[in-house]
Amino acid sequence: MKNKRYSDDFKLQVVRDYLNSTQGCRTIAKKYSLPSKNYIYDWENYLIKKGLLSEEETHKNFKEAYSLKNNESESKKTAYEKQLEAENLRLRAELVYYQELKRLVDEDSKKNSNFKFKK
């Protein structure tokens, strides 16, 4: 099978469609019959390097958008959900503590079992 070549205009169209869409990368790749979603990521970087796409247009600002979205969902949580999350966090910390304590006890008992009294 011969490798297909895509024009810069087509690449730009696909990447912009992805950036302006609520659909995922896989869905956009299928929409344009691309063999892999990685084409979109690669083309995004290629178009930035070539100067055809500005970084402001891309998902480089994803962290900022994600943190805003995360803050919105944080404020929508009920008191019960917040209580459950706090309890989950506490239990995870306890688990780590007890795992470390067990490791230390096992290590200590191993050292003591190797200790021999001289007569």
- Provide the pLDDT confidence category of residue 119 given band limits of 50, 70 and 90: low
CA separation (Å) from 77 to 38, 69, 71, 88, 100?
35, 13, 10, 15, 33
Higher pLDDT, 25 or 113: 25
The CA angle 65-69-74, to the nearest 5 degrees, is 145
Q: What is the pLDDT of residues 36-72, one digit of tens each?
A: 999 998 998 899 899 988 877 776 555 555 555 555 5
Mean pLDDT within 25-44:
92
Give CA–CA dist 76/71, Å, rounded: 9
Could you tell me the residue ranges of all domains in the chain? Answer: 8-63, 74-113
Q: What is the mean pLDDT of residues 21-34?
A: 91
Report which listed range, 19-23, 29-33, 55-59, is most confident.
29-33
Report whether 3 contacts 43 (CB < 8 A): no
Instruction: Say if CB 54 and CB 15 are below 8 A apart.
Output: no
